[in-house]
Structure 1
């Protein structure tokens, strides 16, 4: 490709905030695979958040890009599967689209076709637009795709705060999970958390670094051990998820066996333990029940899971996190503390003495 921006390009990122910030431009937050689409004539590349191409998995999106986008263009957006029958976005069906077999890819493209929702214009023709303010890029995006037809869409946007609040309340019923807020003059900054995201719940993408077996059987997962990378790149133990149906516990056990490794090859090995790092090996027996074994089976830290949590206590989840979904589109190295919402501190004494 001979574009002003050639793949791969890292997408601009968002940081969670507690409320909708005033004076910005607001868009729905789509529940799909973040994708930067490159088109240069007959060539199309669909880049993912982890910079690995997804082009082969979405032939119907490639066809739609060729039929709807300008000849030479780079657009940031989201690949989604829209289930109009159930009036929701289907992320599970979208995950299943990532399949190694070409025959399966073709079948799924027909059974669960994907769409592309555009929300930023990075390059057009020979012009790199990333230094333009967002409101200008937005105007150019709308004009460039004014004749686009489904399955290519331009995301709705508004600068009216009341409208944004209504969207936040209403769009959740259609499977969307919040809002994105962008400064009017925001330039496009790859891999920088310079946008804001407002969600209805707290979630985090975590590395699955090990498991404990279930008390009922040795071939069932009791809990999955979660990790996040700190500012040094060290994988820190942050908590567990453990609420699974019994059948899923057995399926997970079989599914995770190829990832089983030794402690010598694991971030939470004895060396890290001796150096004082926070790892599950620091307490391999329960502080509440001396007879309870809390040792775990180490896994190569290659899989990413999105979990729900209520709040943090220090570097860990205060309570057991809840499984949300697997994230095959995320690289483990991107699972950092930076993604977490930082609650505003409040004086506990003031809470205790309030009436």
Structure 2
């Protein structure tokens, strides 16, 4: 492989902003695997966020690159998996695609095929485009891909009102915010030169247990959060884990009076409720100790989260404050704001 921009390349990144900034080019923030695609003839490499190759996990994306992209190019984008049950993204299905067995990879490439959404181009032919303004790179990118196939170009607008509408609408398709880019910006690998605005909401949750810290049993690794569903069952919805080490040790002492036996706990492994152990099929939990310290489900905490994926927080929730004024029974799914339903195909149709 001989290209004007060679792997590995650290993707250009974004930093958080409290609100959508003015005077930028705006794009939906995709919730998938970041991927820099290198193609030179029949050779294709897919570089991940940490620059490690991952083409072996997505043979259908490699085939799409060979069929739909120019023979010599380097493009930046996101690998996503559409949901088979609703019109949005399925991040859990995407996680399952990273599997060590080639036979499993081939099977999943058919059962849960991935798509490639592009938002930048670094090289075309013999030309290194990283030193050109983003607006010029975007114009080049727009000429590379025809709509309707497994490779798409992300939607973009320079209208702030449209970006604000996308921020609300596109969440229902599983996207998690807006990225704002400088029209004159160069491609700077590894630098946080873009801005991202993500959704953040709060929820009051029951603390039903904790996992010890991986480095010490006398420190809390993560608080296990629960919400009551319509049937009165305490469902596991995620974790909160953002604490300094000193605070993690204090929490073990503070939570000690609430420690109870597993038998009779809402998340007893024999119970029908969704428990932390049910996550054992996740790629993230492979080989991990999923045991936890059960707590009397009487403590309520307010956490911040960006969005839900099914009945769980998509990312680790952020601790905000304890809520001694709230009863555990009042912590239900009904408090959660539901995003406007929006189909992924409609997002791609705006490209």
SS in 2 for 1:122: strand
Length-normalised TM-score, structure 2: 0.64
The corresponding residue for 2:160 is 161
Distance 1:152 1:226, change over 3 A: farther
The answer on whether the counterparts of 1:240 and 1:321 sit within 8 Å (CA) in structure 2 is no
The answer on whether the counterparts of 1:68 and 1:149 sit within 8 Å (CA) in structure 2 is no
The corresponding residue for 2:199 is 200
The alignment yields a C-alpha RMSD, in angstroms, of 3.5
Unaligned runs of 5+ in 2: 228-232, 260-283, 286-300, 306-311, 319-351
The answer on whether the counterparts of 1:9 and 1:51 sit within 8 Å (CA) in structure 2 is yes
The corresponding residue for 2:313 is 324
The corresponding residue for 1:44 is 44
Unaligned runs of 5+ in 1: 204-213, 216-220, 228-236, 253-276, 294-302, 305-317, 328-339, 341-355
1:184 aligns with 2:172: no
| Residues 80-159 of structure 1 aligned to structure 2 (within 5 Å) | 80-83=80-83, 86-145=86-145, 147=146, 149-159=148-158
The answer on whether the counterparts of 1:225 and 1:241 sit within 8 Å (CA) in structure 2 is no
Q: 1:194-235, CA deviations, whole angstroms, 9 ceiling, x for partnerless residues?
A: 1111111279xxxxxxxxxx99xxxxx7336499xxxxxxxx
The corresponding residue for 2:293 is none
SS in 1 for 2:225: coil
CA distance in 1, matches of 2:30, 2:99: 22
The corresponding residue for 1:242 is 224
Report how far residue 178 of structure 1 moved: 1.0
SS in 2 for 1:18: coil
CA distance in 1, matches of 2:246, 2:14: 29
The answer on whether the counterparts of 1:132 and 1:187 sit within 8 Å (CA) in structure 2 is yes
SS in 2 for 1:35: strand
The corresponding residue for 2:279 is none
239, 243, 253: which one aligns with 1:286: 253
SS in 1 for 2:143: helix
Length-normalised TM-score, structure 1: 0.63
The corresponding residue for 2:62 is 62
